[in-house]
Structure 1
Amino acid sequence: MAFSFTSPTFKHWGVTAEQIRELRTAINEVEFVNPTGKHGGLGSTAAHNELLKIIDSSKDYNMFVRRLNNWANYRLKGGVEALPDGLRIKK
């Protein structure tokens, strides 16, 4: 997932530009469910808006990661496993 458009928030949380680069997913690898689609297609705008809301409503990076994992379970094909390893909550 690319979050460069929200980098001031991540910077405030202490996340570096290098970490953001390492934690992103190539656009062509992003596939959605509920509804089924790909980046730029059906469901893409809704998914982006949901991600922005998660970022804006999270008090810190840890809260963001928890919420992102919950979101991934119902919006990404493959669920949490579709997230970059560094964004997955380890159980």
Structure 2
Amino acid sequence: MRHLATNFMKKFKGKVYTDNLWPASLTCSVKKHNYHLRWLYMNPKVKEYLETHHSKLWARSQFSELSKVDYVHNNLAESFNSTIRKLK
């Protein structure tokens, strides 16, 4: 999503885009996702751009229920790396 947002913001500038792109991607609710997309799609070029250049899943609400979490972190990897630091 970070790369999508970076590329998107190069092409589309304005408060409506900065206020709706990330919330559209982070919400688990399809209703809230569609709300933010409606704001983005007020510019027809946005829909065309997203469908052409970012056709893969980029919104949390579009993933299956099994893969949704409300946080992302790497504590396990950090713990492992700190444990093996001396062995490296």
Q: TM-score, normalised by structure 1?
A: 0.32
Between Structure 1 and Structure 2, the one with more strand by share is 1
Q: TM-score, normalised by structure 2?
A: 0.33
Between Structure 1 and Structure 2, the one with more helix by share is 2
